Each structure stands twice: as C-alpha cells, then as structure tokens.
C-alpha cells in the first residue's frame, strides 16, 4: 500500500512538473508577446515626415489555450493552473495597457508633427504669395516709371527707350546751387532753391527730382552745396570744395552704403570764380591731396576720390548749361568760356572711363537764358524740365 501511495505521489509530482513546464512555457510566450508589442510601438518611431502610428493593439486572449487542457487535470491542478493563467493574463493586460499608452503618446507626437508641417507649408505658401506680389508690384512700379511715349526733341524723353532699368536703384548727387533744395541737402550745406525770384517752388520741379521720378530711382543723398566749386581745400573737414574728402564721403550719408548711381554737376562756380583751367596732357594723372587752385587738377582729384570710395557705383559727369553776356557766351577773367570747361570735363572723364551726359546740349541756348533761367544761371521750371528730360533720356539709354 505504501508502494502504491508512493507511485501515486510520483505520478502527481510528474503531472505537476509537467504543468509547471507548461506554465513556464506560457510565461515565456507571454514575455515574447510583451516584447513583440513593445517592438511594434518604439517611442522614437515618428520621423520628420510625421508618419502615422499603427492602430492600437488588440487585447490579449490567453484563456482559450489553457482551458483546452483543464479536463485532464485534477481539481487541485486545475486550480493551480487557473491561478497561473490569471496571473499570466494580468501580465498580458499590463503589457497591453503599456502598449496603448505608447500608442497614445506616439499618436499625440504624430498629430503635433503633422500640425507643424501644415503650419510650415502654410507659411511657405504665404511667403511665396508675398514674394509674387512684391515681384508684381516691382514690375508695375517699373512700368509706371517708364517715360511716356512721344518725341520731345528739346531735351525731353525720346519715344523709343531701350530696356535699361534704373527703377529702385539709389542715386546721390554731387552738385552746386543748381542742384540744391531746402530740406534735401545735408545739414550745414548752403542752399539756393527755393528762391523768391525763381518760379521753382516745389522740390518736384527741380531737374534732379524729375530725373529720379522719371527713372524710378531712390534718392540716397543730394550732396549739393550752393556757390561751391570743384577746387579749394581738399583736406579740411568743413571744406565745400567738390574735390574735398568731406564732400565725397557725404554722398553715402549715414547709411555707410555706396549709392548705385552718382551724378556730378560741378564746375560752374570754377568758371565764375575764374579758377584757372589748367593744362591737360591727355592721360590720367594721380593728383596729390592738398589745396587745389587748378580746375583740371581739382576735377581729376574729385574723380579719383569718387572711384576710390565708390568702386561699384556708376558715375556720370555732366557738362554745364550755358552762361551768357547779352547774346554772347560769357567769358571769365581768364578769357575762358563755359565751353572750355565743358571740353575739359569731357577729356578728364574720358581718360578715367566715366560717361558724360552733355547737358549743355539740352536745348537751353545762350540767347534763350532769360526764358530758361531766373538770373542767367539758375534754371527756372522750364529750364529744369529741359535738363531733366535730357538727363533722363541719357540715363535710360545706359549713359
């Protein structure tokens, strides 16, 4: 009997060992399942493309496999297996809840990334629309800045203008009283316009503002000084001489940026002050920076400084309108005429490769100065209109 009991106990122990093996296998399967669920939903799964996460995993169903073997178990074994199955089920449920939480986290990250991408796309579309609008506005502005058709032979805008646009470019002016206007020149500079005896009463009537509006350019600095000459003290900080470093540097104003275009209308007062014309060899000569009392030397020094300070700017020299003595060209104390100074301007500019706008040919004749000027020197509205038309046409022709 004891032997039978021992055999029965061994049989029970064998069955329990078998069940423990089954339970161990089930635990192993559960661990594999948990690991598989976690591998399906790694926390760093989202990419910059905001990939949508997979759907939430289904709840585990471990009971069915266990219940198939319960018929062959004793009540004690069945109870033990049931307890183990419930524990395994609880573990599976815990893993499932963790997987759901991981999925919710990934879904929130996906939705956030998607919203960011949509916002970025909308911002890019808005930027492209704004750029297109600005391009269209610039095109319309350029079209509006084109001079009207129709021939204006007396210094006006020609009817055929080549495709040379100055719209939006900055311009600075180095000039004398003819190019001034109160409120548009640097502080401390002397001014002529508006003048009680001249009918130019608004800046829009000056030759240079008409040029700016005709071409679509933007004024950077009007560095014009009434009664100033090219020659004088080229070093003094308070010098009004066109060849002085102060006048050259002032053309950039407070911006520190070089203008795109520089218009030079200087020399009339050198003629009126009878500053010697000087001699010219026909070759560019480096001029020393000192007190200048020779028009040729002063004009060349002025151009050398302009080139040195503004190497990327397009510089234009302008010849001078006529000065008269009755119906004849005026002659200064040295026996020179405006034409003599204009020829020297052309010679010096040519050897330095700077284009010249021959304003002397704008249609203001020596015997008509009373019609186009207020005092034989300073243009009135009609004179300024002729100058502006001629200069505009020359600029749009590319100099």
pLDDT tens readout for residues 177-231: 999 999 999 999 999 999 999 999 999 999 999 999 999 999 999 999 999 999 9
Please state which architecture CATH assigns to domain 166-396. Answer: 3-Layer(aba) Sandwich (3.40)
Does the pTM exceed 0.85?
no
Determine if the peptide bond prior to 194 is cis (ω within 30°).
yes
Q: Cα 333 to the chain's mean position, in Å?
A: 52
3-state class (DSSP) for residue 171: strand
- Burial category of 395 from C-beta neighbours within 10 Å (exposed 0-12, middle 13-18, buried 19 and up): buried
What's the start-to-end Cα distance of the chain, in Å?
130
How many Å apart are CA 17 and CA 155, to the nearest integer? 116
The neighbour count for residue 286, using CB atoms within 10 Å, is: 7
How many Å apart are CA 148 and CA 153, to the nearest integer? 14
pLDDT band at 7 (very low <50, low <70, confident <90, very high): very low
pLDDT at 90: 81
How many Å apart are CA 220 and CA 261, to the nearest integer? 9
What letter would DSSP give residue 146?
A: S
pLDDT band at 94 (very low <50, low <70, confident <90, very high): confident
**Angle formed by the axes of helices 207-215 and 75-145, to 10°?**
140
């Amino acid at each position: 009997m004891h032997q039978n009991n021992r055999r029965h106990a061994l049989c029970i122990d064998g069955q329990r060992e078998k069940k423990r093996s089954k339970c161990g296998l089930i635990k192993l399967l559960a661990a594999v399942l948990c690991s598989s669920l976690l591998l399906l939903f790694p926390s760093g799964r989202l990419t910059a493309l905001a990939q949508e996460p997979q759907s939430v995993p289904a709840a585990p169903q471990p009971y069915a496999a266990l219940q198939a073997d319960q018929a062959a178990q004793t009540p004690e074994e069945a109870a033990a297996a049931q307890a183990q199955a419930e524990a395994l089920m609880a573990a599976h449920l815990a893993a499932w809840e963790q997987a759901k939480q991981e999925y919710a986290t990934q879904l929130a990250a996906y939705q956030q990334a998607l919203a960011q991408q949509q916002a970025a796309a909308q911002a890019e579309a808005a930027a492209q629309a704004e750029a297109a609008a600005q391009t269209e506005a610039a095109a319309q502005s350029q079209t509006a800045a084109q001079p009207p058709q129709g021939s204006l032979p007396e210094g006006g805008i020609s009817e055929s203008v080549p495709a040379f646009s100055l719209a939006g470019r900055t311009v600075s002016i180095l000039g004398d009283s003819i190019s001034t206007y109160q409120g548009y020149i640097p502080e401390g500079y002397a001014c002529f316009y508006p003048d009680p005896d001249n009918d130019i009463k608004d800046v829009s009537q000056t030759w240079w503002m008409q040029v700016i509006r005709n071409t679509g350019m933007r004024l950077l600095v009007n560095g014009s000084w009434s009664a100033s000459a090219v020659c004088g003290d080229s070093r003094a900080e308070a010098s009004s001489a066109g060849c002085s470093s102060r006048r050259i540097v002032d053309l950039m104003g407070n911006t520190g940026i070089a203008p795109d275009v520089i218009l030079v209308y200087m020399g009339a007062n050198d003629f009126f002050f009878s500053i010697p014309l000087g001699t010219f060899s026909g070759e560019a000569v480096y001029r020393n920076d000192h007190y200048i009392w020779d028009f040729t030397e002063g004009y060349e020094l002025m151009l050398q400084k302009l080139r040195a300070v503004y190497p990327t700017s397009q510089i234009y020299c302008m010849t001078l309108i006529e000065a008269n003595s009755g119906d004849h060209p005026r002659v200064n104390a040295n026996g020179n005429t405006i034409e003599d100074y204009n020829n020297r301007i052309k010679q010096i500019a040519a050897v330095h490769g700077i284009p010249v706008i021959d304003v002397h040919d704008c249609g203001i004749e020596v015997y008509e100065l009373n019609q186009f000027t207020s005092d034989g020197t300073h243009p009135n509205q009609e004179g300024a209109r002729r100058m502006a038309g001629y200069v505009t046409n020359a600029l749009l022709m590319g100099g």
